Amino acid sequence: MSFARLFPVLGLAACAARSPEPVSFTDVPTFHTEETGTLLGSLPVTRFRYDNGLQLIVVEDHSAPVAAYHTWYAVGSSLEEEGKTGLAHLFEHMMFKATEDYPEGGYDRALESLGANGLNAWTWLDETVYVQSVPVSALDKVAELESTRMTKLIVDADALDSEREVVINERRLRVDNDPGGKLNELLYATAFDTHTYGWPTIGWMKDLEGLSVEDCVDFYRTWYAPNNATVIVVGDVEPMDVAATVLKHYGRIPASELPDRKPPAEPPQAEQKRAEVEIPTTADRVQVGFKSVAAGDADLPVVYVIDAILSAGRSSRLRRALIDTGLASELSTFSLGMAEPGLFELDISAREGVSAEQIEEALFAELESFVAEGPTAADLERGIRQTQAASMGGLTGAAGKAQLVGWFWRTTGDWR
């Protein structure tokens, strides 16, 4: 039996079946141009706002006759209620079920017939997102399909039961029976005392088992509304044409009365927190979470550079201290900024025969040395270069640009 350990630490030193009620529609909808700008210095960006609160961001990229169509809903696991964790992620699954206009599977088949690719969705702490890339000629149909899902999804016991079982099995696979997943769930639960970032996005098992049709209908009617959504279109398009298409399909959907709900504030952390769990693995594993900064914080680029210096490439400091010395077999980090301060994570798998204590000692010795001495000029140059390369690598293709714009818009309120 080996041990897996967690060390969340203080901040970085360097930085019954029923369907929803019928929707009533508003009259004479309009939209307004809110702002314009450029992405990467050359791609025109236009942001529109509709009378019902829907936001549309259009990025012109005429390099290929395709368009990415992403829909961001400003709800994730951090806005769930106690006892109903996992509802946002479960509902993401249910959004692919039948609507009043399309039978189950009809959404996927309709998109495939249009030549769509990259059809996907995800839920995390702050958002739920639905994505696809299509020929520009298919944008009107995609807007129709997505607006239909926003208003006419059939939410009943059959849909809930089938998707609940899928999610429960997903939880067993990715968390309960996976050492890394189980450890990461414990890491966040230990790191956050009051903030709902400490709740697992996939949900606690007891909560998943207790969710009702009424819970799902209420969630749908509350959060799946135009004033809680942003549509992002990137591709070979004209902004006013896209805006008119979106108006046609979404303009008469009424806004929801959104709850004034925010995650509870996390109190300052005064000392290191630790947790230990026994997991039947062949080697020890250590995860560490440092309290970090939100996506809108001016220090976030510094965090990214620190991440690169510590872990990116064969010459990075932690790889030299842990991998090259034979202590660890794997090392990974995660430092993505979120809407509110989250964690800078390190995940280290020890080599067989190496204890978690040895990993901890070597890790913190290297981190303390880094804080005391600071990066060398070569480390700093390499870290900046690797951070810039990673950022640009995520901007390849319309889908990458749409994801970046959506991420910054959701987490900071500014798409730039």
In the prediction, which pLDDT does 15 show?
33
- Residue 2: pLDDT over 70: no
DSSP state of 339: S
**pLDDT bucket at 12, cuts 50 / 70 / 90:** very low
Name residue 233's beta-bridge partners.
Answer: 58, 69
Measured from the Cβ of residue 240, the count of other Cβ atoms closer than 10 Å reads 13
Phi, psi of 4 (to 5 degrees): -115, 135
Q: Which residues, other chains included, contact 47 with Cβ-Cβ below 8 Å and sequence gap of 6+?
A: 33, 34, 35, 36, 55, 56, 57, 58, 415
Distance of CA 250 to CAs 51, 121, 217, 308, 402, Å?
A: 10, 20, 20, 42, 20
Predicted confidence (pLDDT) per residue in 88-141, tens digit: 999 999 999 999 999 999 999 999 999 999 999 999 999 999 999 999 999 999
Contact 167, 93 (CB under 8 A): yes
> Which of 361, 379, 369 lies closest to 306 in space, CA to CA?
379
Contact 261, 165 (CB under 8 A): no
In percent, the amount of the chain with pLDDT more than 70 equals 93
Report domain extents, the chain. 2-12+264-393, 31-262
**pLDDT bucket at 148, cuts 50 / 70 / 90:** very high
Predicted confidence (pLDDT) per residue in 319-374, tens digit: 999 999 999 999 999 999 999 999 999 999 999 999 999 999 999 999 999 999 99
Distance of CA 65 to CAs 57, 140, 160, Å?
A: 18, 15, 38
In the prediction, which pLDDT does 9 show?
40
Predicted confidence (pLDDT) per residue in 161-188, tens digit: 999 999 999 999 999 999 999 999 999 9
Sequence length of the chain is 416
CATH classification code of 31-262: 3.30.830.10
Q: Which residue has the higher pLDDT, 254 or 390?
A: 254
CATH classification code of 2-12+264-393: 3.30.830.10
**Do 2-12+264-393 and 31-262 have matching folds?**
yes
Q: Which residue has the higher pLDDT, 13 or 226?
A: 226
Summary count for the chain: helices (H), strands (E) = 13, 12
Burial of 29 (0-12, 13-18, 19+ CB in 10 A): middle
Q: What is the mean pLDDT of the chain?
A: 92
Calpha distance 90→210 (Å, rounded): 12
In the prediction, which pLDDT does 27 show?
61
In the prediction, which pLDDT does 407 show?
95
Predicted confidence (pLDDT) per residue in 43-97, tens digit: 999 999 999 999 999 999 999 999 999 999 999 999 999 999 999 999 999 999 9
